[in-house]
Amino acid sequence: MKINILIAISSLFLTIVSCKQNAAKLPILGNREVAANGKDTIYQSIPDFNLLNQDSVYINNDSLKDKIYVADFFFTSCPSICPIMKKQLLRIHDKYKDNNQVAILSHTIDPKHDSVPVLKKYADKLGVSSKKWHFLYGARDVIYNMARNGYMNYADRDSLAPGGISHSGYFILVDKNRHIRGAYDGTDEKQVSQLMDDMDILLAEYK
């Protein structure tokens, strides 16, 4: 009888320990293929881009090479889910305010209205600076293509959606090697808390 209890406790303990070990590293998401040598795996990575931020500075993979970042797609006049997403991104912004390994990228999907000065004004009103949080401007097709093929996200014109554009509310977590490490519902406070926990796990990889 006693031995049974002992076995139960120790197996429980083992499960807990192994679970923790699994959680210590984030998976790499997206498509993958086998390299020419037949051994290595090539993971999906964020394609090259070159987009203006709210201060008219070009941002690309090079300027982000020492940072992990959270990417999302929005537009400033969006009446549906964007305000909640921005409120949640502000939580992330405030937590990592002094950590220069972290950045946030918000791509506008309404370049017709959201010019660089409009984005600048929006960023100012949120009380954030381009040191941490870039509001990126680019041609519509470029951004939509980035969303679909780069971030596995979704944005398209839709006359039925409030504001005329429909898009997903996902936050994508990208590591320093341009790999996608997580996707979270940006309108859900709990998932954003999970994202921040995962960001800490990811940052620990670079210590």
- First-last CA distance in the chain: 47
Question: Which of these ranges, 31-39, 59-67, 86-94, 139-147, lies near other proteins under the rule CB under 8 A?
Answer: 86-94
Is 90 an interacting residue with respect to other proteins (CB under 8 A)?
A: yes
Is 81 an interacting residue with respect to other proteins (CB under 8 A)?
A: yes
CB closer to other proteins out of 20 and 125:
125
Shortest distance, CB of residue 164 to other proteins, whole angstroms?
12
> What residues contact 148, with CB distance under 8 A and at least 6 apart?
154, 155
Is 127 an interacting residue with respect to other proteins (CB under 8 A)?
A: yes
Q: Which of 20, 39, 112, 125 binds other proteins (CB under 8 A)?
A: 125
d(CA 104, CA 92): 9
- Determine the size of the site formed for other proteins (CB under 8 A): 15
Shortest distance, CB of residue 176 to other proteins, whole angstroms?
29
Question: Which of these ranges, 35-43, 78-86, 103-111, 191-199, lies near other proteins under the rule CB under 8 A?
Answer: 78-86
Contact residues toward other proteins (CB under 8 A) are 77, 79-81, 83-84, 86-87, 90, 122, 124-127, 162
Residues tagged in the binding site annotation: 78, 82, 167
Residues tagged in the binding site annotation for Cu cation: 78, 82, 167
